[in-house]
Amino acid sequence: MSFVPVAEDSDFPIHNLPYGVFSTKGNPRPRIGVAIGDQILDLSVIKHLFTGPVLSQHQDVFDQPTLNSFMGLGRAAWKEARGLLQNLLSTSQARLRDDTELRKRAFTSQASATMHLPATIGDYTDFYSSRYHATNVGVMFRGTENPLMPNWLHLPVGYHGRASSIVVSGTPIRRPMGQMRPDDSKPPVYGACKLFDFELEMAFFVGPGNKFGEPIPISEAHEHIFGMVLMNDWSARDIQKWEYVPLGPFLGKSFGTTISPWVVPMDALMPFAVPNPEQDPKPLPYLRHDQPYTFDINLSVTLKGEGMNQAATICRSNFKHPDQEMGNLQDLSCPLGPLPGTSPLSRSGVNFLLTSVTLHSFCLFFKFYKNGIIWYILFSVWLLLF
């Protein structure tokens, strides 16, 4: 239990403690904080309390405007920080609880804070993780005769996205313009996208990278995964359908990707780890692992359109996912701060789905009309394979 009041239905109990970057009207400098209840604990104010064997030498990482330096310290520093924070925030620890002056400076209400991108993202990889999603997208683009490409069953299929267009939740996304061919019997046209959707996904931040040309074995991949965020992968399907052959998505997927401001550390997710699902066919040796690094995570999507008095829940997802995506990046240079995303989460029996290697999840295909646009919302979840 924490001495900070936490509502029973709060997403931010002492067991979570996600990291983010925030600023306030009184102090516009972006800085690192941890969410607890409806408060943010400013780590730049309490950095002097990080006196463990690793962080005592690196207290300055909590004075930075992004999480990059902290993430780069590695797993030992992450575990040390989490242990100290849980101790400081507990009801039994007086150091912060009873220091009225320090508490006044250290805590900020979430309602009064402006959230920023949690890290400088130098690279972004988008994986195609759900079998159901891959099949349904394949039907949309190639027809029912050839929905799933043969390589999909053997490796985590992905592509490099545009890191510069990743924005924090709440940033407006503008309807993109591009070339498309809505009628196969006529020449292509240029105009505003009319088939617009987003995929609800999860993505992970990589901490310490690898040296150029030195692979990360899948047995060590979990040492490099800092934490996870929610991600909305915005897509212009009519632009994408016309442009994606032969090199894959380009302008149809690069105009905006939204991530949540809070990064949930992997140690907070470990209590929800479940046995890895069986894969058929069996992956190649470099993608095999026995660690339970698949997670049982419940997600839902609500929608509130114009004229609606309250939001309606239109999708719920139970996410279970393994971790070969990081392993499949092993032969590349994977520096500090890249953001790999899994794919939309899906399950059979719904209208539209999205995927990754052995993922069981849930996605809904929702269609509505507004301002002459057909909106398709693909609710899916990405969990990255580490």
pLDDT category at 383 given cuts 50, 70, 90 is very low
Average pLDDT over residues 55-78: 97
Q: How far is CA 208 from the centre of its chain?
A: 18
Residue 258 is inside which H or E element, if any?
strand 257-259
Which amino acids are annotated as binding site for substrate, given as ranges?
128, 142, 240, 244
Over the stretch 182-232, which tens digit does the pLDDT of each residue have? 999 999 999 999 998 888 888 889 888 888 888 888 888 888 889 999 999
Res. 375: pLDDT tops 80? no
Residue 36 has pLDDT above 60, yes or no: yes
Structure tokens given for 14: 């002492």
Query: pLDDT category, 255, cuts 50, 70, 90?
Result: very high
Same domain? 91 vs 140: no
Q: What is the per-residue pLDDT for 57?
A: 98
Q: Which of 114, 140, 160 represents a domain boundary (last residue)?
A: 114
331 or 155: whose pLDDT is higher?
155
Domain-ending residue, one of 114, 146, 181: 114
- Residue 203 and residue 61 share a domain: no
Whether residues 330 and 269 fall in one domain: yes
In the chain, the number of structural domains is 2
- Assess whether 275 and 173 both reside in one domain: yes
Could you tell me if residue 351 is inside a domain?
yes
Annotated catalytic residues are 133
Same domain, 249 and 312: yes
User: For residue 6, is it within any domain?
Assistant: no
pLDDT (average), residues 235-263: 93
pLDDT tens digits for 294-320? 788 877 777 777 777 777 776 665 554
Asked whether residue 277 is domain-assigned, the answer is yes
Annotated binding residues for Ca(2+), written as ranges, equal 126, 199, 201
Binding-site residue positions for Mg(2+)? 233, 253, 257
In this structure, of 42-46, 90-94, 218-222, 325-329, the range with the lowest mean pLDDT score is: 325-329
Are 212 and 134 members of one domain?
yes
pTM score, whole prediction: 0.83
Tell me the residue range of the domain where 108 lies: 19-114
**Count of positions (residues) in the chain:** 386
Of residues 46 and 201, the one with the higher pLDDT is: 46
* Mean predicted lDDT score pLDDT of the chain: 82
Q: Is it true that the peptide bond before 271 is cis, omega within 30 degrees of 0?
A: no
Q: What CATH number is attached to the domain comprising 311?
A: 3.90.850.10
Enumerate long-range contacts of 48-53, CB under 8 Å, 24 or more apart.
Answer: 49/84, 49/88, 49/95, 49/96, 50/80, 50/81, 50/84, 52/80, 52/83, 52/84, 53/80
Query: Does the pLDDT value for residue 91 go beyond 50?
Result: yes
pLDDT at 370 over 50: no
335 found inside a domain: yes
Confidence of residue 340 (pLDDT cuts 50, 70, 90): low
pLDDT, average across residues 157-183: 93
Is pLDDT at 333 greater than 90 in this prediction?
Answer: no
pLDDT at 87 exceeding the cut of 90: yes
Last residue of a domain, one of 81, 114, 147: 114
Domain shared by 136 and 260, yes or no: yes
- My answer on whether 212 and 249 are in the same domain is yes
Q: How confident is the model at residue 109 (pLDDT cuts 50, 70, 90)?
A: very high
Both 61 and 153 in one domain: the answer is no
Give the model's pLDDT for residue 209.
80
Q: What number is the average pLDDT over the span 106-134?
A: 90
Residue 384 forms part of a structural domain: no
Q: Are residues 179 and 269 in the same domain?
A: yes
Q: Which of 214-218, 266-270, 273-277, 348-352 has the lowest mean pLDDT?
A: 348-352
Q: Is residue 1 part of a domain?
A: no
Same domain (yes/no): 218, 170: yes
Can you give the CATH number for the domain in which 73 is found?
Answer: 2.30.30.230
185 with 213, same domain: the answer is yes
